[in-house]
Amino acid sequence: MFPITYLTTIRFAPGALAGLADDLAALGVSRPLIVSDAGLLATDLVDRLRAALPAGLDAPLYGETPTNPTEAAVAEALALYRAERCDGLVALGGGSPIDLAKAVALLATHEGPLARYAAILGGVPLITPAVAPVIAVPTTAGTGSEVGRAALITLADGRKLGFVSPHLIPERAVCDPDLTLGLPPGLTAATGMDAVTHCLETYLSPRFNPPAEAIALDGLVRALAYLPRAVADGADREARSEMMMAALEGGLTFQKGLGAVHALSHPLGGLPDVSLHHGTLNAVLLPHVLAFNDGHVGAKYDVIRERLSLAPGTDLAAYFRDFTAALGLPTTLSAMGLPDRHLPAVAEAATKDHSAATNPREASAADYRAMLEAAYG
């Protein structure tokens, strides 16, 4: 039996950032470390967050989060956390700063090394409730990490591993759609397709969790209806709000497990010689995984077609490939700049990824290699 849990507090509304001081007080955090990235430091969002802190609080900032968070960056942020005598974290950004903050919160209260807590290495039961409190403030609508129980970190040896525990779910999620209004079209599309993939993969996961499936379907419908609008007009507040909710719903369903898309995108995202955006990878891989899983999901493809008002028998792989193309995203791995020499190692790594266990159809290294070759173009 797999437990069904929904265990965090979410404030969702335009202007929700204004309540940050109340969230810190509720958690007893008096000196948080702000975790963000260089892209956000070039905007006014960090200043807006600082303005929402309690009066007189000059919180330290770690702003060097890489696009794919690394063990080295975790160590740097942890050193700052300890030097500044912090007692909690506020993560501002997309999935990368939020995941990095989770890893810092873990190592701030648990003895290292980080690898011992990786899910695939048996580390889940080693993570205790002692994890330092994290407040997540998403500025993209995609990862759902603000309510998710996992962090993806690339270790020093190159492995991109998942750290999974209900104790890693942020204590507070501050979901303010206004913070996404400046997101450019390409990043809006890429992060949005991350949310789409989360909703699809969690719905198709074979674990029994009807509440999560209902949430995933609702998120999928929202994302497909509003993502084109958000890409076309970044100032469309309704579309931005609906996309943030779709991403949140995708994150709420993580406990059901993901699948082969993420089993592939995780090692692809950890490659040292090429930087591949996670959401774009998911968009490119999704059609090929849907084709692979066809016939192994019961009536779920029919339910998806019905909820999306598609004709019976519509080819879902083709539908999502065309949807991705219409957003202006690449539809092949070669177009993303991936050297094909990586395909064999990525296929093998996918079989060991924690998301592989909840794909509806078991996949071998040869199966993953075939999916990668089809996606390569």
User: Is 9-180 a CATH 3.40.50.1970 domain?
Assistant: yes
SS3 state at 187? helix
State residue 182's pLDDT score.
83
Using one digit for the tens of pLDDT, what is the confidence trace for 99-116?
A: 999 999 999 999 989 999
Residues facing residue 150 across a β-bridge:
164
Q: What residues does each domain of the chain span?
A: 9-180, 185-376
Residue range 73-94, pLDDT digits in tens: 999 999 999 999 999 999 999 9
Distance CA 35, CA 137 (A): 10
Distance CA 70, CA 59 (A): 23
Q: Rounded to an integer, what is the distance from CA 302 to the centroid of its chain? A: 26
Q: What is the chain's alpha carbon radius of gyration, rounded to the nearest angstrom?
A: 19
pLDDT, tens digit (0-9, with 9 covering 90-100), for 161-214:
889 999 999 999 999 999 999 899 999 999 999 999 999 999 999 999 999 999
State residue 8's pLDDT score: 87
Look at residue 309 and tell me whether its pLDDT is greater than 60. yes
- What is the average pLDDT across 282-289? 98
pLDDT at 4: 53
pLDDT at 255 over 90: no
d(CA 10, CA 221): 21
pLDDT at 1: 43
Residue 31 pLDDT exceeds 90: yes
pLDDT of 5 over the 80 cut: no
Residue 2: band (very low, low, confident or very high) from pLDDT cuts 50, 70, 90: low
- Work out the angle between the directed axes of helices 316-326 and 278-293 (0-180°, nearest 10): 160
Task: Tell me the pLDDT band of 147, cut-offs 50, 70 and 90.
Answer: very high
Average model confidence (pLDDT) across the chain: 95
Structurally, what CATH architecture does the domain formed by 185-376 represent? Up-down Bundle (1.20)
Contacting residues for 274 by C-beta, under 8 A, at least 6 apart: 337, 338, 339, 342
3-state secondary structure of 204: helix
